Chain A
Amino acid sequence: MSAFDGMITGFQVALSWEGILFVLIGVIVGTLIGMMPGLGPISAIAIMIPITYGMDPAPALVMMAGVYYGAVFGGSTSSILLNAPGISGTVATAFDGYPMAQQGKAGKALAIAAIASFFGGTVSVIMLMLLAPALSSVAISFGPPAYFALMLMGLTAISSLSEGSTIKAMISAVAGVMVVTIGIDPQTGTQRFTFGNINLLDGFDFLIIALGLFALAEVCMLVLNRKNRSLSDDQKLGSLKVTRADLKEMSGPMTRQSFVGFILGVLPGAGATIASFISYIFEKRISKNPEEFGKGSIKGLAAPESSNNAATSGAFVPLLSLGIPGSGTTAVMLGAFLVLGVQPGPLLMSDRPEIFWGIIASMYLGNIFLLVLNLPLIPYLAKILSIPRPLLISLVIMFSLIGVYSISFNVFDLYMLLVFGALGFAMRVFSFPAPPFILAFILGGMMEQAFRQSMTISNGNLAIFVNSPLPLSLILIAFLSLVIPGLLKWRSRRKLAKM
């Protein structure tokens, strides 16, 4: 069956009344669960599995896919409004989304996020449809050395995530990697810095760090400024007004980052979180006015939002075409397939074309539903910010606590949330930037593992990183991205000196 026939089969499934109904249910449930504190796509899918018992597999899986990308879509709301990312893929969204909301443009920020998500989701579905079979070879091309190089490339970006003191940014990053070394080391089974506490064996969940460093630290700032009027103009708060100029400004980042996000989503292990960070940094690097980033830049909001949604569709490539779950979420998704008696794998496309193509085709529909359903909701969601400060503070604290508790149901994690909240506040007070910490926390752990896996494979020979083309070229890009900005600065300085 050719891809074209496949698409026709797919649309027959997606556009049947069952298809439409279940996509709709999926995206609504997904968005709502995604907005809940701490509940991301993993829990959303797991929650929905029992509901699909006995259902016909095609509509059931179309629904589950809808739940998945719907949850990623909905996850950005709390990032933007409360600086409290509900899922890890939307931490970078808060960098510019929250400042924008604070400037009284909450409605606009949510609308931009929705449009960027829709765009990223749609572009990546087109790519998924055209390239899924071809891309399956990309998905398996990354071995440990290439992952190491990819993470290295990400880490070199830390310099561009910070303003002010470079030393402080680096301290922040090193501290982030130090925190990620806590727990059982996967390569040796050694317990590192656990002090015999079983709650530390798995290390810290990403959300504990993100909610502590961002949401609770922000709560502290709100407490200090609680006497300022909440937000000046309630009327404007929910306004969706996205001007033509805004759209033009975000078109570049959206297009570029949809591709970046999709490719990173295809790679097992990379996923939406890393994609959103890399996209954010990417746009900041190439921007003519990078100083606007972090202060409510439209580009800075559109980039991670289109990227994380594109990565979500990208993650379907290894799942559907190879049966390889590249992330925790797709692993649960794979479980959902099994429950329905469908084995995702290399033969899915030929054995069950209606499922393979049906899921892909339904994503067009799902993305349109998400946009149409979410835009009218925005004015109401934005009103959250007009809640008087003292009450809002209490609610954000609760949001963070429930969020962390629903990850592990472990009270110990709540204490840790409090600790990271205090740390985040201290970092703000003493001007240590938090983004390098969180980026280093995400990339550092994977980078260490990939490095040591490579060294075991090569019996300790470092040449493994340079004697195959993929890791070598990634390392070169990382190196150049560090050196070129410096060279440019140096040249322009010399020019100035000559004049």
Chain B
Amino acid sequence: MKKTIFTSILAASALLFAGCNSEGSTSGGTSEDGTFEPSQNIEMVAPAGAGGGWDTTAREVARVFGETDIIEENMTVVNKEGGGGAIAWAYIHGKDDSPYNLFVASPPLMFVPLNGQSEHGHEDFTPLANMIADYGAFAVSADSEWEDLNDLFDQMKADPESVTVVGTSAPGSMDHMQFVRIAKAAGVDPTKIKYVSDQDGGALTSVLNGSVDVFSTGVGEVVEQVRAGNIKVLGITAEERMEGEVLSDFPTAIEQGIDESFINWRGFFGPPNMDQAAVDYYEAKFKELSESEEFAEVREKYGWNEMYLNSAEYEEFLNTEYEEIEVLLEEIGLGN
């Protein structure tokens, strides 16, 4: 017995030394000719708990990367939940210039810092590629008297107190602001919109039982309810009609004469100051992924739309979006 204990202690200390030696080599991988090839496990952070949109995207991307061998190194998904993403962003921010720590992001990466709940925003990270576009939908109970967005907005202009909008996120975040953005373009006073947040899964219920009037959410959340005839979609935030069975029936805000749209983009970022060689590498790999048949299947499964942007395009797109949101938040007095 004693001998085995001794051996294991010995083994442990040997491992300990081995561990120490490998420290400090984490940010390597860029070879002399200036190209980057990962030489260790890549960590993919989902800044939320298991099961949500970020988590699903991260896991599907990691899975397809692995199955297609587009990236040969292992990609492990790590969930860092908390603060609507703030905890994960702080964590990645601390991994300055590491080419092995990526994370998945979407518009909350702008909303959360703009609401003053995170020190880190999109400009603090290295955008690698955008992959997916998703859109918002505004739904009402099937027996509602409103037939399109203009009916709804007319009512809101006439009597703003009579209409309540529900969403899952807090005020100033996505579900709220996508509605404010479209409503404002239609001429509704953005400071008079009544919005309640329901984070315990009761938002759809509240619309179905008539407690609230409008459900501001993602397109994917409403398809089944529309098919069953429980709710109807007054408008979506896409620029043009979507493809697909029920989806193609949803009118866009633009075709109803409201010149505004909102994209729920989803893409990938790395820590600040990531090496250009690594950025180029990931940009190309994500492009390959986006064009692969396997990922097309994934998009179809979840009803996501293709929207690949490379690092430079992505950055430009993000900056424009950011400015628009900032102005809007200022206007309704939620800017920080």
| Those of B24-80 within 8 Å (CB) of chain A | 49-52, 55-56, 59, 63, 78-80
Contact yes or no, B82 A139, CB < 8 A: no
Q: B99 near A: Cβ within 8 Å?
A: no
Chain B residues near A339 (CB-CB < 8 A): 301
Q: A238 near B: Cβ within 8 Å?
A: no
Nearest A-chain residue to B53, judged by Cβ: A335
CA distance A338 to B51 in the complex (A): 11
CA distance A49 to B227 in the complex (A): 26
Query: Which of A82-90, A105-113, A142-150, A393-401 contacts its partner?
Result: A142-150
| Those of B208-241 within 8 Å (CB) of chain A | 208-212, 223-225, 227-228, 230
Q: A103 near B: Cβ within 8 Å?
A: no
| Those of B115-146 within 8 Å (CB) of chain A | 115-119
| Those of B196-212 within 8 Å (CB) of chain A | 196-202, 204-206, 208-212
Contact yes or no, A409 B79, CB < 8 A: yes
| Those of A340-364 within 8 Å (CB) of chain B | 341, 343-347
CA distance A430 to B246 in the complex (A): 62
Q: B325 near A: Cβ within 8 Å?
A: no
| Option from B80, B82, B201 in Cβ contact (under 8 Å) with A327 | B201
Q: B190 near A: Cβ within 8 Å?
A: no
Q: B307 near A: Cβ within 8 Å?
A: no
Chain B residues near A187 (CB-CB < 8 A): 170-171, 196-197
Contact yes or no, A457 B212, CB < 8 A: yes
CA distance A231 to B168 in the complex (A): 50
Q: Count the A-B residue pairs with Cβ separation under 8 angstroms: how many?
A: 158
User: Interface range on chain B: under 10, 10 to 19, 20 to 34, or 35 or more?
Assistant: 35 or more
Q: A2 near B: Cβ within 8 Å?
A: no
Query: Which of B4-12, B84-92, B249-257, B269-277 contacts its partner?
Result: B84-92
Chain B residues near A228 (CB-CB < 8 A): none
Contact yes or no, A268 B205, CB < 8 A: yes
CA distance A375 to B56 in the complex (A): 37
CA distance A324 to B221 in the complex (A): 9
Chain B residues near A269 (CB-CB < 8 A): 200-202
Q: Given the known A-B contacts A141-B209, A343-B223, A457-B164, are A338 and B117 also in contact in the complex, defined by CB atoms under 8 Å?
A: no
Q: Given the known A-B contacts A269-B202, A459-B161, are A323 and B301 also in contact in the complex, defined by CB atoms under 8 Å?
A: no
Contact yes or no, A202 B83, CB < 8 A: yes
CA distance A202 to B117 in the complex (A): 11
Residue among A189, A318, A322, A338 with most chain B CB within 10 A: A189
Contact yes or no, A326 B201, CB < 8 A: yes
**Per-residue 0/1 for A385-411: is the Cβ within 8 Å of any B Cβ (1 yes, 0 no)?**
000000000000000000000001110
CA distance A142 to B197 in the complex (A): 16
Nearest A-chain residue to B208, judged by Cβ: A140
Q: B194 near A: Cβ within 8 Å?
A: yes
Q: B17 near A: Cβ within 8 Å?
A: no
Chain A residues near B115 (CB-CB < 8 A): 189
Q: Given the known A-B contacts A184-B117, A186-B170, are A201 and B82 also in contact in the complex, defined by CB atoms under 8 Å?
A: yes
Closest beta carbon of chain A to B74's beta carbon, Å: 14
Chain A residues near B55 (CB-CB < 8 A): 46
Closest beta carbon of chain A to B226's beta carbon, Å: 10
Q: A287 near B: Cβ within 8 Å?
A: no
Chain B residues near A453 (CB-CB < 8 A): 196-198
CA distance A188 to B171 in the complex (A): 6
| Those of A126-167 within 8 Å (CB) of chain B | 139-145, 147
Chain B residues near A45 (CB-CB < 8 A): 51
Chain B residues near A139 (CB-CB < 8 A): 205
Q: B81 near A: Cβ within 8 Å?
A: yes
Q: A199 near B: Cβ within 8 Å?
A: yes
Contact yes or no, B200 A268, CB < 8 A: yes
Contact yes or no, A345 B224, CB < 8 A: yes
**Per-residue 0/1 for B153-175: is the Cβ within 8 Å of any A Cβ (1 yes, 0 no)?**
00000000100100000111100
| Option from A53, A145, A186 in Cβ contact (under 8 Å) with B211 | A145
Q: B312 near A: Cβ within 8 Å?
A: no
Contact yes or no, B87 A199, CB < 8 A: yes
Q: A191 near B: Cβ within 8 Å?
A: yes
Chain B residues near A198 (CB-CB < 8 A): 82-83, 86-87, 90, 117-119
Chain B residues near A341 (CB-CB < 8 A): 301
Contact yes or no, A347 B227, CB < 8 A: yes
Q: B334 near A: Cβ within 8 Å?
A: yes
Q: A482 near B: Cβ within 8 Å?
A: no
Q: Given the known A-B contacts A42-B51, A408-B82, are A186 and B197 also in contact in the complex, defined by CB atoms under 8 Å?
A: yes
Closest beta carbon of chain B to A119's beta carbon, Å: 28
Nearest B-chain residue to A346, judged by Cβ: B228
Contact yes or no, A324 B204, CB < 8 A: yes
Q: A449 near B: Cβ within 8 Å?
A: yes
Closest beta carbon of chain A to B93's beta carbon, Å: 11
Nearest B-chain residue to A318, judged by Cβ: B205
CA distance A261 to B224 in the complex (A): 28
Contact yes or no, A142 B209, CB < 8 A: yes
Q: Given the known A-B contacts A189-B334, A323-B224, A331-B51, are A201 and B117 also in contact in the complex, defined by CB atoms under 8 Å?
A: yes
Contact yes or no, B51 A324, CB < 8 A: no
CA distance A139 to B78 in the complex (A): 34
| Those of B177-206 within 8 Å (CB) of chain A | 194-202, 204-206
Closest beta carbon of chain A to B138's beta carbon, Å: 17
Closest beta carbon of chain A to B84's beta carbon, Å: 7
Chain A residues near B87 (CB-CB < 8 A): 198-199, 201, 408, 410
Closest beta carbon of chain B to A470's beta carbon, Å: 10
Chain B residues near A332 (CB-CB < 8 A): 50-51
Contact yes or no, A189 B201, CB < 8 A: no
Chain A residues near B211 (CB-CB < 8 A): 143-145, 457
Q: A16 near B: Cβ within 8 Å?
A: no
Closest beta carbon of chain A to B71's beta carbon, Å: 18
Chain B residues near A456 (CB-CB < 8 A): 164, 194-196
Contact yes or no, A189 B171, CB < 8 A: yes
CA distance A99 to B90 in the complex (A): 43
Closest beta carbon of chain A to B161's beta carbon, Å: 5
Chain B residues near A46 (CB-CB < 8 A): 50-51, 55
Chain B residues near A174 (CB-CB < 8 A): none
Contact yes or no, B199 A186, CB < 8 A: yes
**Per-residue 0/1 for A181-219: is the Cβ within 8 Å of any B Cβ (1 yes, 0 no)?**
000111111010000001101100000000000000000
Contact yes or no, B164 A343, CB < 8 A: no
Closest beta carbon of chain A to B60's beta carbon, Å: 9
Contact yes or no, A184 B228, CB < 8 A: no
Chain B residues near A122 (CB-CB < 8 A): none
CA distance A105 to B136 in the complex (A): 56
21 pairs of residues in contact across A and B, judged by CB atoms under 8 Å: A42-B51, A45-B51, A142-B202, A184-B117, A186-B198, A188-B170, A189-B117, A189-B171, A189-B334, A268-B201, A323-B224, A324-B205, A331-B201, A332-B50, A346-B227, A409-B81, A410-B80, A449-B199, A449-B200, A453-B197, A456-B194
* Interface contacts beyond A187-B171, A268-B200: sample of 6 additional A-B pairs, CB < 8 Å, sorted by A: A188-B171, A269-B202, A323-B224, A346-B224, A408-B82, A457-B196
Chain A residues in contact with chain B, CB under 8 A?
42-43, 45-46, 49-50, 53, 139-145, 147, 184-189, 191, 198-199, 201-202, 268-269, 318, 322-328, 330-332, 335, 338-339, 341, 343-347, 408-410, 446, 449, 453, 456-457, 459
Identify the 3 closest CB pairs spanning chains A and B, nearest first.
Answer: A345-B224, A143-B211, A346-B228
